[in-house]
Amino acid sequence: MKTARFVSPAEREMVQAAQYYNSKVPNLGAEFLHEVKKAVKRLEADPDAAQKVRGEVRRRLIRRFTFGVLYRIDPDEIVILAVMHLSRRPDYWHGR
């Protein structure tokens, strides 16, 4: 089983989203992070299951939240390129 690694911008996006959710509802950010972690575990278990969205980049949806984890499968690891809100600037991550 390959392990996942977040690129720095993806990790920052995830943390910023959690902080935003916590500012709206106490502990909602922690719930968001928990759902992201579950999505990452699912993609580590079966990386090919998620749909391709551009080239070899795939998207795993995050339950309960309008976010997706964008990633590519490299020979030795899974590289998480973005933790993106699904209705904002859909192509911003292309340079990663």
User: Domain limits of the chain?
Assistant: 4-85
pLDDT 10s digits, 68-92: 999 999 999 999 999 999 886 666 5
Within the chain, strands assigned E span 4-6, 51-54, 57-61, 67-73, 78-85
How much is the pTM? 0.89
Question: How high is the mean pLDDT of the chain?
Answer: 93
Q: Does residue 93 register a pLDDT over 60?
A: no
Fold of 4-85: YaeB-like fold (3.30.2310)
H or E stretch covering 8: helix 8-24
pLDDT 10s digits, 29-42: 999 999 999 999 99
